[in-house]
Amino acid sequence: IGYHGRSSTIIPSGTNIRRPKGQTMVAGEDTPGYGPSKMVDFELEMAFITTDANKLGESIPIEDAEKYIFGLVLFNDWSARDIQKWEYVPLGPFMAKNFASSISPWIVTLDALQPFRVPSPEQNPEPLPYLKQEGANSFDIHLEVSITPEGGVPTTVSNSNFKYMYWTMAQQLTHHTSNGCKVLSGDLMGSGTISGHTPDSYGSMLELAWQGTKPIELLDGATRTSIEDYDTVTLSGHCKNEKVRIGFGQVVTQLLPAK
Protein backbone atom coordinates (compact mmCIF):
# COMPACT_ATOMS: atom_id res chain seq x y z
CA ILE A 1 0.00 0.00 0.00
CA GLY A 2 1.49 3.34 -0.97
CA TYR A 3 0.56 6.98 -0.68
CA HIS A 4 2.60 9.95 -1.74
CA GLY A 5 2.81 13.69 -1.38
CA ARG A 6 4.62 16.07 -3.70
CA SER A 7 6.85 19.06 -3.10
CA SER A 8 4.79 20.89 -5.75
CA THR A 9 1.67 20.71 -3.57
CA ILE A 10 3.17 21.63 -0.19
CA ILE A 11 1.55 24.99 0.49
CA PRO A 12 1.82 27.60 3.26
CA SER A 13 -0.93 28.56 5.70
CA GLY A 14 -3.52 30.83 4.12
CA THR A 15 -3.50 29.04 0.75
CA ASN A 16 -6.95 27.65 -0.02
CA ILE A 17 -7.35 24.28 -1.73
CA ARG A 18 -9.85 22.70 -4.10
CA ARG A 19 -11.83 19.55 -3.41
CA PRO A 20 -9.96 16.86 -5.34
CA LYS A 21 -11.42 14.59 -7.99
CA GLY A 22 -10.61 10.93 -8.39
CA GLN A 23 -11.79 7.36 -8.78
CA THR A 24 -14.17 6.05 -6.14
CA MET A 25 -16.31 2.97 -5.74
CA VAL A 26 -19.83 3.75 -4.54
CA ALA A 27 -21.31 1.15 -2.18
CA GLY A 28 -23.43 -1.33 -4.12
CA GLU A 29 -21.81 -0.57 -7.48
CA ASP A 30 -19.63 -2.94 -9.50
CA THR A 31 -17.43 -0.42 -11.30
CA PRO A 32 -15.72 2.75 -10.10
CA GLY A 33 -16.64 6.25 -11.15
CA TYR A 34 -14.76 9.52 -11.41
CA GLY A 35 -15.70 12.78 -9.74
CA PRO A 36 -15.21 15.05 -6.72
CA SER A 37 -14.28 13.35 -3.46
CA LYS A 38 -17.10 13.26 -0.95
CA MET A 39 -14.87 12.50 2.05
CA VAL A 40 -12.14 15.14 2.31
CA ASP A 41 -10.32 14.92 5.64
CA PHE A 42 -7.57 16.71 7.51
CA GLU A 43 -4.68 14.89 9.15
CA LEU A 44 -3.10 16.50 12.18
CA GLU A 45 0.64 16.02 11.78
CA MET A 46 3.95 17.70 12.30
CA ALA A 47 6.83 17.58 9.87
CA PHE A 48 10.57 18.01 10.22
CA ILE A 49 12.90 19.69 7.76
CA THR A 50 16.38 18.32 7.19
CA THR A 51 19.82 19.74 6.66
CA ASP A 52 22.11 18.27 4.03
CA ALA A 53 22.74 14.87 5.53
CA ASN A 54 24.16 11.74 3.94
CA LYS A 55 25.77 10.63 0.73
CA LEU A 56 24.03 8.25 -1.66
CA GLY A 57 24.47 4.72 -0.35
CA GLU A 58 25.18 5.79 3.24
CA SER A 59 22.88 5.39 6.25
CA ILE A 60 22.45 7.86 9.12
CA PRO A 61 23.10 6.19 12.50
CA ILE A 62 20.34 6.63 15.06
CA GLU A 63 22.68 8.45 17.46
CA ASP A 64 23.44 11.09 14.79
CA ALA A 65 19.99 11.53 13.25
CA GLU A 66 18.92 14.62 15.21
CA LYS A 67 22.03 16.48 13.99
CA TYR A 68 20.40 16.53 10.56
CA ILE A 69 16.96 17.76 11.68
CA PHE A 70 16.80 21.56 11.46
CA GLY A 71 13.35 22.05 12.93
CA LEU A 72 9.62 21.38 12.85
CA VAL A 73 6.45 22.80 11.32
CA LEU A 74 2.77 22.05 11.73
CA PHE A 75 1.53 19.86 8.88
CA ASN A 76 -1.98 19.18 7.58
CA ASP A 77 -1.65 16.16 5.29
CA TRP A 78 -5.00 16.43 3.51
CA SER A 79 -6.64 13.17 2.44
CA ALA A 80 -9.55 12.09 0.27
CA ARG A 81 -10.83 9.05 2.15
CA ASP A 82 -13.16 7.69 -0.52
CA ILE A 83 -10.41 7.82 -3.15
CA GLN A 84 -8.04 6.27 -0.62
CA LYS A 85 -10.44 3.46 0.24
CA TRP A 86 -10.89 2.42 -3.37
CA GLU A 87 -7.32 2.69 -4.57
CA TYR A 88 -5.46 0.90 -1.80
CA VAL A 89 -6.83 -2.60 -2.62
CA PRO A 90 -4.72 -4.22 -3.89
CA LEU A 91 -2.54 -1.36 -5.19
CA GLY A 92 -3.69 1.79 -6.90
CA PRO A 93 -2.66 5.15 -8.34
CA PHE A 94 -2.23 6.56 -4.80
CA MET A 95 -3.95 9.86 -5.62
CA ALA A 96 -5.66 10.32 -2.25
CA LYS A 97 -3.00 12.49 -0.62
CA ASN A 98 -0.95 14.32 -3.23
CA PHE A 99 -3.38 17.15 -4.00
CA ALA A 100 -2.36 19.34 -1.03
CA SER A 101 -0.29 19.37 2.17
CA SER A 102 -0.44 22.57 4.25
CA ILE A 103 2.36 23.77 6.55
CA SER A 104 2.77 26.53 9.13
CA PRO A 105 4.71 29.61 8.01
CA TRP A 106 7.93 29.26 10.01
CA ILE A 107 10.25 26.58 11.36
CA VAL A 108 10.82 26.02 15.09
CA THR A 109 14.34 24.68 15.60
CA LEU A 110 15.26 21.67 17.70
CA ASP A 111 17.46 23.95 19.82
CA ALA A 112 14.37 25.91 20.88
CA LEU A 113 12.55 22.69 21.80
CA GLN A 114 15.19 21.23 24.12
CA PRO A 115 13.36 22.28 27.36
CA PHE A 116 10.32 20.30 26.21
CA ARG A 117 11.91 16.89 25.72
CA VAL A 118 9.85 13.97 27.04
CA PRO A 119 10.07 10.17 26.76
CA SER A 120 8.32 8.48 23.85
CA PRO A 121 5.69 5.78 24.34
CA GLU A 122 7.14 2.39 25.22
CA GLN A 123 7.97 0.46 22.06
CA ASN A 124 6.96 -3.17 22.30
CA PRO A 125 8.36 -5.26 20.73
CA GLU A 126 11.72 -3.51 20.93
CA PRO A 127 12.92 -2.03 17.63
CA LEU A 128 15.83 -3.65 15.87
CA PRO A 129 19.21 -2.41 17.12
CA TYR A 130 19.68 0.16 14.32
CA LEU A 131 16.51 1.97 15.52
CA LYS A 132 16.88 1.56 19.27
CA GLN A 133 17.09 4.73 21.40
CA GLU A 134 17.37 5.61 25.06
CA GLY A 135 16.38 8.73 26.97
CA ALA A 136 13.85 11.47 26.15
CA ASN A 137 13.49 11.54 22.38
CA SER A 138 10.13 13.21 21.85
CA PHE A 139 8.72 16.66 22.58
CA ASP A 140 5.74 17.95 24.54
CA ILE A 141 3.95 20.00 21.87
CA HIS A 142 0.29 20.80 22.46
CA LEU A 143 -1.80 20.60 19.29
CA GLU A 144 -5.33 21.71 18.43
CA VAL A 145 -7.63 21.48 15.41
CA SER A 146 -10.72 23.58 14.76
CA ILE A 147 -13.32 23.70 11.98
CA THR A 148 -15.00 26.97 10.98
CA PRO A 149 -17.99 26.87 8.59
CA GLU A 150 -18.30 29.74 6.12
CA GLY A 151 -19.46 32.78 8.08
CA GLY A 152 -19.51 30.78 11.31
CA VAL A 153 -17.46 30.41 14.47
CA PRO A 154 -14.63 27.92 15.06
CA THR A 155 -15.29 24.65 16.87
CA THR A 156 -12.34 22.84 18.45
CA VAL A 157 -12.61 19.21 17.41
CA SER A 158 -9.26 17.82 18.58
CA ASN A 159 -6.72 18.43 21.34
CA SER A 160 -3.65 16.27 20.87
CA ASN A 161 0.10 16.24 21.51
CA PHE A 162 3.19 15.37 19.50
CA LYS A 163 4.47 13.21 22.39
CA TYR A 164 1.88 10.55 21.48
CA MET A 165 3.87 9.56 18.37
CA TYR A 166 5.09 5.97 18.62
CA TRP A 167 8.13 6.52 16.39
CA THR A 168 10.53 9.40 16.93
CA MET A 169 11.84 11.77 14.27
CA ALA A 170 15.32 10.29 14.66
CA GLN A 171 13.99 6.78 14.08
CA GLN A 172 12.08 8.00 11.05
CA LEU A 173 15.13 9.64 9.48
CA THR A 174 17.41 6.70 10.29
CA HIS A 175 14.98 4.20 8.79
CA HIS A 176 14.44 6.39 5.72
CA THR A 177 18.18 6.32 5.00
CA SER A 178 18.77 2.72 6.14
CA ASN A 179 18.83 1.52 2.53
CA GLY A 180 21.20 4.28 1.42
CA CYS A 181 18.55 6.76 0.29
CA LYS A 182 20.06 10.26 0.07
CA VAL A 183 18.47 13.09 2.06
CA LEU A 184 18.88 16.67 0.84
CA SER A 185 18.83 19.95 2.70
CA GLY A 186 15.23 21.12 2.90
CA ASP A 187 13.57 17.72 2.61
CA LEU A 188 10.32 17.58 4.57
CA MET A 189 9.05 14.43 6.30
CA GLY A 190 5.59 14.22 7.84
CA SER A 191 5.06 12.49 11.16
CA GLY A 192 1.89 10.62 10.33
CA THR A 193 -1.43 11.33 12.05
CA ILE A 194 -1.01 12.35 15.70
CA SER A 195 -3.71 10.73 17.83
CA GLY A 196 -3.87 10.18 21.58
CA HIS A 197 -5.76 7.58 23.60
CA THR A 198 -9.00 9.54 24.08
CA PRO A 199 -11.65 10.33 21.44
CA ASP A 200 -11.07 14.10 21.73
CA SER A 201 -7.36 13.63 20.89
CA TYR A 202 -7.79 11.86 17.55
CA GLY A 203 -6.06 13.54 14.64
CA SER A 204 -8.48 13.12 11.73
CA MET A 205 -12.20 13.16 11.00
CA LEU A 206 -11.94 9.48 10.05
CA GLU A 207 -11.16 8.74 13.71
CA LEU A 208 -13.10 11.57 15.37
CA ALA A 209 -16.35 10.67 13.57
CA TRP A 210 -15.43 6.96 13.64
CA GLN A 211 -15.78 6.39 9.89
CA GLY A 212 -18.95 8.46 9.76
CA THR A 213 -20.85 6.64 12.51
CA LYS A 214 -20.39 9.36 15.16
CA PRO A 215 -20.86 12.80 13.55
CA ILE A 216 -19.04 15.71 15.19
CA GLU A 217 -21.36 18.53 16.30
CA LEU A 218 -20.22 22.10 15.69
CA LEU A 219 -21.11 25.06 17.89
CA ASP A 220 -23.81 26.23 15.45
CA GLY A 221 -25.57 22.85 15.68
CA ALA A 222 -24.37 21.54 12.31
CA THR A 223 -22.59 18.18 12.16
CA ARG A 224 -19.61 16.90 10.23
CA THR A 225 -18.24 13.50 9.30
CA SER A 226 -15.78 15.07 6.84
CA ILE A 227 -14.81 18.55 5.68
CA GLU A 228 -17.44 20.39 3.60
CA ASP A 229 -16.95 23.04 0.94
CA TYR A 230 -16.03 26.46 2.38
CA ASP A 231 -15.09 24.97 5.76
CA THR A 232 -11.83 26.36 7.16
CA VAL A 233 -9.57 23.95 9.05
CA THR A 234 -7.07 25.48 11.50
CA LEU A 235 -4.17 23.63 13.13
CA SER A 236 -2.28 25.31 15.96
CA GLY A 237 0.49 24.23 18.32
CA HIS A 238 2.68 25.43 21.17
CA CYS A 239 5.07 24.36 23.91
CA LYS A 240 4.82 25.88 27.37
CA ASN A 241 6.54 25.62 30.76
CA GLU A 242 6.98 27.92 33.76
CA LYS A 243 9.49 30.13 31.93
CA VAL A 244 8.62 30.26 28.26
CA ARG A 245 5.96 29.65 25.63
CA ILE A 246 6.97 28.75 22.08
CA GLY A 247 4.31 28.97 19.40
CA PHE A 248 4.24 27.19 16.06
CA GLY A 249 1.66 29.58 14.65
CA GLN A 250 -1.26 28.19 12.70
CA VAL A 251 -2.08 26.32 9.52
CA VAL A 252 -5.27 27.89 8.17
CA THR A 253 -6.80 26.39 5.01
CA GLN A 254 -10.24 26.74 3.43
CA LEU A 255 -11.63 23.95 1.27
CA LEU A 256 -13.19 25.26 -1.94
CA PRO A 257 -15.48 23.32 -4.30
CA ALA A 258 -13.96 21.16 -7.03
CA LYS A 259 -13.50 22.79 -10.40
Please write the tens of the pLDDT for every residue from 197-239.
999 999 999 999 998 999 999 999 999 999 999 999 999 999 9
Q: Is 30 inside any structural domain?
A: no
CATH code of residue 104: 3.90.850.10
Q: What pLDDT sits at residue 2?
A: 65
Q: Is 27 inside any structural domain?
A: no
Over residues 129-152, the pLDDT tens digits come to: 999 999 999 999 999 999 999 999
Q: What pLDDT sits at residue 46?
A: 98
Q: What pLDDT sits at residue 87?
A: 83
Domain count across the chain? 1
Q: Is 69 inside any structural domain?
A: yes
Question: Contact 10/248 with Cβ under 8 angstroms?
Answer: no
Q: What pLDDT sits at residue 1?
A: 61
**Mean pLDDT along residues 16-37:** 93
Q: Is 20 inside any structural domain?
A: no
Q: Is 21 inside any structural domain?
A: no
Cα 197 from Cα 96, distance rounded (Å): 26
Q: What pLDDT sits at residue 92?
A: 66
Q: Is 35 inside any structural domain?
A: no
Q: What is the DSSP string of 10-41?
A: EEETT--EEPPEEEE--TT-SS-EEEE-S-EE
Q: Is 63 inside any structural domain?
A: yes
Q: Is 1 inside any structural domain?
A: no
Strands 138-139 and 21-24: unpaired
Cα 93 from Cα 176, distance rounded (Å): 22
Cα 41 from Cα 233, distance rounded (Å): 10
**Mean pLDDT along residues 158-174:** 97
Structural domain containing residue 157: 7-15+40-256
Over residues 98-118, the pLDDT tens digits come to: 999 999 999 999 999 999 999
